[in-house]
């Protein structure tokens, strides 16, 4: 529990009351000076004890508050390093290329037939000159023109019909195949 200003004020009033009662108390037997001094000493000692308790409590509370703040704020650890020596200018060093080891290809086993993958791969390569971009009211459309594909692509009749599309441009209606749809079906643009 942390003492607030209100608690400190009440504690000081209580300490002052104890001290005043010790001074103002009328002794039952008149003239006993030693008894009066003893009561004054006890009162002053009581006030001192209460003050010390309050002081210690405030000090502990302040230390706890500082520890809580330091838990949340981590000071970076300072690392002291020796200064680096000044760098010399970078001078490029020639390194000769390493000789590549040549491996002689081994002959194929007897009875092995080379398979011709190029025919199958070429069936999915679309001619570059048929790829066109059209500006429409809805934006730019990328497609392969139907007439161009029929003239330049042997397998134009095998193209997926779900990719076929008709668009309107400012030059009229165009027929062709959507480029993204064809790419999703495994077709690609022939390079070169």
Residue 187 φ then ψ, to 5°: -85, 150
* Among 90, 92, 180, CA closest to 142: 180
pLDDT attached to residue 175:
93
Structure tokens at 141: 């459309």
- The pLDDT confidence band at residue 103, using thresholds 50, 70 and 90, is confident
pLDDT attached to residue 145:
92
Beta strands in the chain (DSSP E): 125-126, 131-136, 139-145, 164-169, 172-178, 188-189
Radius of gyration (C-alpha) of the chain in whole angstroms: 49
- pLDDT of 3 > 60? The answer is no
Tell me the β-bridge partners of 188: 125
- pLDDT of 59 > 80? The answer is yes
Give the span between the Cα atoms of 124 and 118, in whole angstroms.
10
- The pLDDT confidence band at residue 2, using thresholds 50, 70 and 90, is low
Residue ranges per domain, the chain? Answer: 5-72, 120-189
pLDDT tens across 127-180, in order?
A: 899 999 988 888 889 999 999 999 988 888 889 999 999 998 888 899 999 999
Tell me, yes or no, if the pTM score tops 0.75.
no
């Amino acid at each position: 529990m942390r003492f607030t200003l209100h608690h400190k004020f009440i504690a000081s009033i209580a300490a002052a009351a104890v001290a005043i009662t010790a001074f103002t108390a009328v002794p039952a037997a008149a003239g006993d000076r030693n008894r009066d001094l003893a009561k004054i000493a006890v009162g002053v000692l009581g006030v001192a004890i209460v003050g010390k308790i309050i002081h210690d409590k405030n000090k502990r509370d302040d230390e706890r508050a500082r520890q809580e703040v330091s838990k949340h704020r981590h000071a970076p650890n300072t690392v002291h390093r020796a200064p680096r020596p000044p760098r010399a200018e970078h001078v490029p060093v020639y390194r000769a290329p390493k000789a590549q080891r040549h491996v002689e290809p081994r002959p194929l086993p007897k009875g092995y037939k080379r398979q011709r993958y190029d025919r199958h791969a070429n069936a999915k390569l679309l001619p570059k000159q048929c790829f066109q971009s059209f500006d429409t009211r809805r934006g730019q459309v990328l497609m392969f023109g139907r007439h161009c594909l029929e003239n330049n692509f042997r397998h134009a009749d095998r193209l997926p019909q779900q990719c076929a599309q008709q668009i309107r441009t400012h030059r009229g209606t165009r027929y062709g195949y959507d480029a993204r749809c064809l790419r999703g079906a495994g077709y690609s643009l022939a390079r070169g």
